[in-house]
Structure 1
Amino acid sequence: MIEGVKIKKLLKHCDDRGFFAELVRDDEDLLENFGQASWSMSYPGVIKAFHYHEEQDDVWFFPSGNAQVVLYDLRKVSATHGETEVFYMGEENPIVLLIPKGVAHGYRVLGQTPATIIYFTTKSYNPEKPDEKRIPWDDPNIGFDWEIKNR
């Protein structure tokens, strides 16, 4: 696993009314502090990649749809520098994923329905000085192949 990345399996409490699950709590050591919560939707087949942050950590959760999430460790001082890791998140695998600062991240929507992401950050977005560095989805240094592998 890429150094500093954390996964939280969700515990769903189900009954005849539906279900309830906690996403992020202040007592579980996911975020060092809370900055902002955001909500976004992407259409099937869309690739939103890559970007990274120098000052903030992200926590991602996909409550609907499914996504292939790709992480690439840019941190030169990390034991996992240069490593790529892939997670399949969403309705079929409801997990919460911590993405540390300095780790490039992006996703591709899988299947035939849109995917919704809710994410939490340790800092609020500052439009005057955005902490969001962009890398092309097909960057040769990362070299990730986004094509579906028929097996």
Structure 2
Amino acid sequence: MIEGVKVKRLTKHCDDRGFFAEIFRDSEGLLESFAQASVSMSYPGVIKAFHYHDHQDDLWYFPSGNAQVVLHDLREGSATFGTTDVLYMGEENPIVLLIPKGVAHGYRVLGNTPATIVYFTSTEYDPKNPDEKRIPFDDMRISFDWTTKNR
């Protein structure tokens, strides 16, 4: 696993009414600070990749749908510099993922239904000075093959 990345498995408390699950607590120390919560929906097959932040940590959760999440460590001083990790998140694997600053990240929606991502950030988005650096989904530095492998 890339240095600084954390995965928290959610516990669902189910009964005849549905379920309840906590996404995160401040006392868990997943985010250095909490500044903003956002939500986004993407259609099946959509790839949203790659981007990274110089100052912001992200905490991702997919409450509906499923996604293939790809991380790539761009931090030259990191013990895992150049490492790529793949995680599968969503309804079938309810986890929360901490993505540290300097780690490129993106996802592809899997299956035939849209995926919704709820994410929490350690800094607020500033449209006049965005802390968001873009890398094309097919960039050779990461060289990730997004196609599904039939096994």
Output the TM-score relative to the length of structure 2: 0.99
* Identity level (%): 77
- Specify the SS of the correspondent of 1:37: strand
- The whole-number CA distance in structure 2 between the counterparts of 1:70 and 1:135 is 13
1:9 correspondence with 2:21: no
| Counterpart in the other structure of 1:120 | 120
- The whole-number CA distance in structure 2 between the counterparts of 1:141 and 1:40 is 27
| Counterpart in the other structure of 2:42 | 42
How many residues end up aligned between the 2 structures?
A: 151
| Counterpart in the other structure of 1:147 | 147
Deviates more, 1:76-85 or 1:14-23: 14-23
- The whole-number CA distance in structure 2 between the counterparts of 1:126 and 1:48 is 20
Deviation at 1:29, TM superposition (A): 1.1
1:129 correspondence with 2:145: no
| Counterpart in the other structure of 2:104 | 104
- The whole-number CA distance in structure 2 between the counterparts of 1:121 and 1:24 is 12
| Counterpart in the other structure of 1:74 | 74
Deviation per residue, 1:69-124 (Å, 9 max, x gap): 00000000000000000000000000000000000000000000000000000001
Output the TM-score relative to the length of structure 1: 0.99
- The whole-number CA distance in structure 1 between the counterparts of 2:121 and 2:95 is 16
The list of structure 1 runs, each at least 4 consecutive aligned residues, that deviate by more than 4 angstroms after superposition, is none
| Counterpart in the other structure of 1:85 | 85
- The whole-number CA distance in structure 2 between the counterparts of 1:65 and 1:140 is 29
| Structure 2 letter corresponding to 1:129 | N
- The whole-number CA distance in structure 1 between the counterparts of 2:90 and 2:111 is 11
- The whole-number CA distance in structure 2 between the counterparts of 1:97 and 1:20 is 19
- The whole-number CA distance in structure 2 between the counterparts of 1:13 and 1:79 is 37
| Structure 2 letter corresponding to 1:96 | V
Structure 1 segments unaligned to the other structure (5+ residues): none
- Specify the SS of the correspondent of 1:27: helix
